[in-house]
A and B are shown apart, each in its own frame.
Chain A
Amino acid sequence: MGRAAWVYGGLVLLAALPPAFLNPYWIDVLNSIGIYAVLALSLNLIVGHAGLFNLGHAAFYAVGAYTAAILNTRFGIPVLWLMPVCAFTAGFFALVVARPIIHLRGDYLCIVTIGVGEIVRIALINDVFGITGGSNGIFGIARPNLLGWVIRTPHEFYYLIWALVGVTVVLFHLLEYSRFGRALNYLREDDTAAEGSGINTAHYKLASFVVGAAWAGMVGNVYAAKMTIISPESFTFWESVLMFAIVILGGSGSIPGMLLGAFLVVGLPEIFRGFANARMLVFGAAMVVMMIFRTQGLLPARPRQYRLPEAGEGEGRA
């Protein structure tokens, strides 16, 4: 316990350092990494833990971002206050669209989620209900104001975004070690056996979608606040593919895997800028090599460790 506390304390300190010596450009790269890390963590619940292929996660991200943008620009509600609202709208949207398709298996579900992602993007371009601003999107989103402190520069956003990463990591770690987290894994392993062991599989499949989507919705809120302008271009199929790639590359079901995956998938192309046009080629080749030699991802999920009571302790009946 003591050792773990030191490790986590060290990590938090390390995370607080970069703004002290990096220029705004690199801080902005770190901010993108943080945003994708949380998106990947949220998608990881669906893909990594519940084993449901979702290639339309950008749709939930978009719903959150547009909720923040619309409510902020029309009604002047402070962006950060809209966090729970964004989580709710994205989660509710996921509930509505996932309900009828949740029984689909593997590749079928995957194709339908791609469709959902495209429908959302095209609906946004078509200025659905006249509130999304069409292909121009929405601009003039107010800067977040945290108890009087207006978050404006990349350096300031760095703390907001990485605080969100930290909170997400802690909560999702706790979730992993719980009845809920285990239930998702049972689905992934064998959903007939899970149902036969008394687990309401339809409920948990849906719950993984709703929780994952709600989290992506919150990231959408932060993204809207950071950019002050959002448009459908930010929520293309490519975004969903990137998130999916982070989950698979980092190691399905593993929290450190998601962080490392975000660093590689978002950060590497920046570092390879020196290769100019060849950078995506180098990046693509690296991914192919990875998937051949390490199919389970870079940091695969490790089995959970339980502290077992000493013999004779506990009050279970058996």
Chain B
Amino acid sequence: MKPALRVVIFVAALLPVLPSFGGARHFTFLYEANTSAPGSLELENWVTWRHAAGPGRFNQVDFRHELEYGITEKFQGNIYLADWFYRSDPEHSGSSYSDTAIELIYNLTNPVVDPIGLSIYGELRVGDRLIELESKLISQKNFGPLILAYNATLESVWEGSDLAEREGEFSQALGASYEISPRVSAGIELLHEFVFPEWRDTAKIRNFFVGPNVSYRHRNWFVTITALAQATDTQDEPDFQLRTIFGIGL
């Protein structure tokens, strides 16, 4: 039996005995500090459309299928079963598998009762001629119906035929979400990226994106959408991105 088929059968066998929902997202480009309840399992599907106009124009749609599992009250493990994309540009178009990843999140403090809610995040991503390590500090504070979140992320990427191409990236993201009703939230997200090809800052690549978000949750599912526009003028980066995350408790 193929390993992939074994994993599918194992997950399918596990589903009926696992209760409930991992939680709803208020943001799509930021993580929140709280972790999933122990024993909860959730499937999230991410779709991100990136569009760039001008000489380097392209359209790319990224897909992610993720399982989130609450291990303890403060510890959560996630698996990206597959990241893949469809890309169309003037020279070619087609879809391709990108990578598979595992991420772990540990919650340190609570955003309601502590002065600030903090979590730490680690991710290992492996793909075809790709290894990526990512670490993140997640902070959040709830002011009644208002959620403020900030993420600082450091990424190291090795890619190419012998993993000789290196790149580093530091990014920070800031978000605010206001709960209009228990089911509906709306807010804003800002993303600021610093890219370091070969871990050097000679190219001075800085990208800044900003845009609104909206989230709807009901029973054991939620959907959150963010539209970001590039406020800088970096070539090869999308002028516009639209991300949708649909999550359902299993």
User: Is chain B a partner of chain A in the same complex?
Assistant: no
